[in-house]
Structure 1
Amino acid sequence: MADWRALGIRPADILIPRQPYLTSRWPVVALDQYTSQPEVWRAAEAQVGEAPSTLRLVVPEAFLEETEVRSEQVYQAMEDYLARDIFDTLQDSFVLVERQTQSGSRVGLVLTIDLEQYDYAPGSSALIRATEQTVLERIPPRLQVRERSALEISHVMLLVDDKADSLLGPLFQQRASLTPVYDLELLMDGGRVRGWQVDRAQDHEQLNVALRALKDQVAPGGLLFAVGDGNHSLAAAKASWDKQKVGLSEGQREAHIARFALVELVNLHSPALLFEPIHRIAFGADSARLLQVLDPLGPREDQQAPDITLVGAQGDLPLKLTRVKGLVTDAVQQLLDEARLPLDYVHGIQALRDIAASQGGTGILMPDFPKDQLFPTVQTAGRLPRKTFSMGEANEKRFYLEARKIR
């Protein structure tokens, strides 16, 4: 049997809806997408209808004002789905995933991480680390939800720096020998997703050996995994485990269900995993107001090599920021925070333009972040500024599909 204790991950008892509940209406995209476009979520609700769906198991951030009512409905739906026995259990398994989007086909592996080997604090030497600043104020409400939930579903995407594709590549090549568990067209323009159960001892051993080889390449104190999406969800899971482990013996802690959290592991170097900048929109502010806010950075119009571009009713204004030290995103975000402007964070250039046109305000097109700099930057700087990059467009994000009992 493969030993996962030193590697920060392990297989799990994963829940998948059984037929006839496993349909395209079951998966929906991560709850932190389309935050300024509630109509996208309303359309999904109409398509789902009364069918079992992960839409009933989350509160989309587009409906934050309805959080209290919707949260109670989430807890009830979880209990209802368990009582109705709608799930099959894939025991001691991984799930190999192929996701097809407009950017291509990316491969992932659904698994659990050991929260004892995850840390979101800057400067950590943990094996699994956050990539962006964790806003501590965002943890308590998520912690409350986790503590009341019977099920865990996950939009967390965990990244591994595997240029040779030695971990997931060989397993994907062998997928014809694995047991298929789903093949679905996704709602919300999400493309297609296929999954295979990985439960054979030889496949576990193959993954274990490949992962140990990758770990051997990591310098002492280096990171093996970086959290690409869903860090605040993991931070809440960590907080929950830290509370629950008090008073437990070492033996009780070793395999406690709350010690682990469900994620999808993806190779950073997948050609279909595109790093896109996360843009900002400042409501109630025109370009002139934003120029005032950004003045300490020495903004000047530059059509050839702009750092950022303001997008609003006055048209586009490309700007070079002549007094920036360090990352542009960090410098701009600090000034926006100081100005206390109402902000939203938007994935996709066209979405930013649509929101600016329909809701007013001024968008800020942010610069790209090269993905091959992710691990070195996290290793040396401790983290990236909040909302530096997005892994693909909103419809390419991870969809909720697999589940796990957490109590």
Structure 2
Amino acid sequence: MNKWAVVACDQYTSEPEYWKEVEKLTKGSPSTFNIIFPEVYLEGGDSSSRISDINATMKQYIDDRVLSELDKCFILTDRRTSHAQSRKGLIIALDLECYDYNKGSKALIRATEGTVLDRLPPRIKVRQDAPIELPHIMVLIDDPGKTVIEPLFQKSAQLEKLYDFELMMNGGHIKGYKISDEKDMNSIADALSKLAQKDVFSGKYGVDADKDLLLFAVGDGNHSLASAKGHWENLKKCLTPEQLENHPARYALVELVNVHDAGLVFEPIHRVLFNVGADDLLREFRAFSGKTACQGSTCSGGTVHTFNYVTAAGKGTVSIENPASNLEVGTLQAFLDSYIKEHPQVKIDYIHGEDVVTKLGSQAGNMGFYLPPMNKTDLFKTVILDGALPRKTFSMGEAEEKRFYLECRKIK
């Protein structure tokens, strides 16, 4: 199992040495490494052959019974990381008909951050011929009373344990328990239904009772869920009404996590720029922010966003007065999107961990920006009132704490 489970494909995209080590560790063994497409390799020029190999290996793993099929169930998970003793989760399948990642979405399942549409085609291509899916998606619920997931752990000693092992590459430890008793499954559904009651919803967030309900907020893996949605939208054009109701690709496997879980920590996602002139960027940042500064009665007077940065010349600070965005990440990202559009030679990566920002940003021709963390308890209300946050606003833990691929689900 230690060789089977590997970290989410969108991690360590500027650290190819990490994935080289994973490749070395898993060589010759069944592993999810062989059935995912790490994004570090997206620009390698061999996407088509890599995707063909992925699909063929998936089929081989099914034929060779590398994968064992379970009855109808949920899976209760308990993850220990280098930063948290326990992060509790529940593996379920969500209906993609209830999910919308587009800006202004009012769906029951929504993205918390902006979706980058050009990241979807390669992921959809992997999925369109794949017999199975693997989730690294983590979806949040706002359950301060801890009524959905946490009560299940009171009976974990009586549940069938499906796995219990150390994860590779400092990933921590993972346990999984099978939830198949009808009574337990119904109690989960009932608890979720109560969270979605209009009076509970309006009271919790101080909104009108007719405000569109948000029950599931996509915290990690939004682009994977958006790819599942894109594949489903393509597929359903050719299906009969009966197939539309029952097709397995209509659903996507995710891990449900309570935003109030003590083991869930929101970390900032920093920015590193490559092939950039730092002095020129800082000059244009100040000029851009002057043009877009908030003006009028909607401004909160005296607001200043301060950013720490690192270059080959050392560390520094830049301050932006009267920013148009409420969040520092919104101020910075709006500028970087504009700057990179005007300077196409500049590349950007989104980094977990200040040490990696320092390492990469201090190299000649590079520049790193450090961003502050976001209060996780504000997430649902912010998305409900303001819509999706700027992309890459927060990360649920450090890179090694991300969800590891482990369970699979048939989608054909």
Partner of 2:201: 218
Partner of 2:330: 330
1:256/1:163 CA distance change after superposition, 3 Å: same
- Is the partner of 1:88 in helix, strand or coil? coil
Measured against aligned partners, the alpha-carbon deviations of 1:154-204 in whole angstroms (never above 9, x if no partner) come to 110000001111111100121111100001100121000000011111110
TM-score, reference length from structure 1: 0.90
Alpha-carbon RMSD across the aligned residues, in angstroms, is 1.7
Measured against aligned partners, the alpha-carbon deviations of 1:328-376 in whole angstroms (never above 9, x if no partner) come to 2122112111111311110110111122245750100012211111111
- Is the partner of 1:192 in helix, strand or coil? strand
- Is the partner of 1:90 in helix, strand or coil? coil
Contact kept, 8 Å, 1:90 with 1:197, in 2: the verdict is: no
- Is the partner of 1:197 in helix, strand or coil? strand
1:4-403 counterparts in 2 under 5 A? 23-66=1-44, 67-104=47-84, 105-216=86-197, 217-219=200-202, 220=210, 221-246=212-237, 248-295=239-286, 296-297=288-289, 307-326=306-325, 327-340=327-340, 341-357=346-362, 360-403=365-408
- Is the partner of 2:388 in helix, strand or coil? coil
Tell me, in whole angstroms, the C-alpha distance in 2 between the residues paired with 1:47 and 1:247.
42
Tell me, in whole angstroms, the C-alpha distance in 1 between the residues paired with 2:246 and 2:394.
34
Contact kept, 8 Å, 1:95 with 1:198, in 2: the verdict is: yes
- CA shift at 1:276, angstroms? 0.9
Tell me, in whole angstroms, the C-alpha distance in 2 between the residues paired with 1:247 and 1:41.
38
Contact kept, 8 Å, 1:131 with 1:378, in 2: the verdict is: yes
- Is the partner of 1:218 in helix, strand or coil? helix
Tell me, in whole angstroms, the C-alpha distance in 2 between the residues paired with 1:69 and 1:316.
43
Deviates more, 1:145-154 or 1:310-319: 310-319
Tell me, in whole angstroms, the C-alpha distance in 2 between the residues paired with 1:355 and 1:73.
32
Q: Report which of the two has the higher share of strand.
A: 1
Contact kept, 8 Å, 2:196 with 2:213, in 1: the verdict is: no
Tell me, in whole angstroms, the C-alpha distance in 2 between the residues paired with 1:60 and 1:140.
14
Contact kept, 8 Å, 1:287 with 1:310, in 2: the verdict is: no
Contact kept, 8 Å, 2:195 with 2:201, in 1: the verdict is: yes
Tell me, in whole angstroms, the C-alpha distance in 2 between the residues paired with 1:138 and 1:44.
23
TM-score, reference length from structure 2: 0.89
Contact kept, 8 Å, 2:358 with 2:368, in 1: the verdict is: yes
- CA shift at 1:236, angstroms? 1.4
* Letter paired with 1:73: D
* Letter paired with 2:265: L
Runs of 4+ in 1 over 6 A off after TM superposition: none
Tell me, in whole angstroms, the C-alpha distance in 2 between the residues paired with 1:68 and 1:250.
33
Identity across the alignment (%): 43
- CA shift at 1:73, angstroms? 1.8
Measured against aligned partners, the alpha-carbon deviations of 1:225-273 in whole angstroms (never above 9, x if no partner) come to 1001111111111122122223544433222111100110001111111
* Letter paired with 2:234: K
1:254/1:359 CA distance change after superposition, 3 Å: farther
Tell me, in whole angstroms, the C-alpha distance in 2 between the residues paired with 1:79 and 1:51.
16
Contact kept, 8 Å, 1:125 with 1:222, in 2: the verdict is: yes
* Letter paired with 1:138: R
Tell me, in whole angstroms, the C-alpha distance in 1 between the residues paired with 2:12 and 2:364.
14
* Letter paired with 2:82: Q
- Is the partner of 2:68 in helix, strand or coil? strand
* Letter paired with 1:120: Y
Contact kept, 8 Å, 1:368 with 1:389, in 2: the verdict is: yes
Tell me, in whole angstroms, the C-alpha distance in 1 between the residues paired with 2:65 and 2:312.
53
Measured against aligned partners, the alpha-carbon deviations of 1:132-159 in whole angstroms (never above 9, x if no partner) come to 1112222222211110111100110000
Tell me, in whole angstroms, the C-alpha distance in 1 between the residues paired with 2:318 and 2:339.
19
Question: Which runs of no fewer than 5 residues in structure 2 stay unpaired?
Answer: 203-209, 291-303, 341-345
- Is the partner of 1:158 in helix, strand or coil? strand
* Letter paired with 2:334: Q
- Is the partner of 1:195 in helix, strand or coil? strand
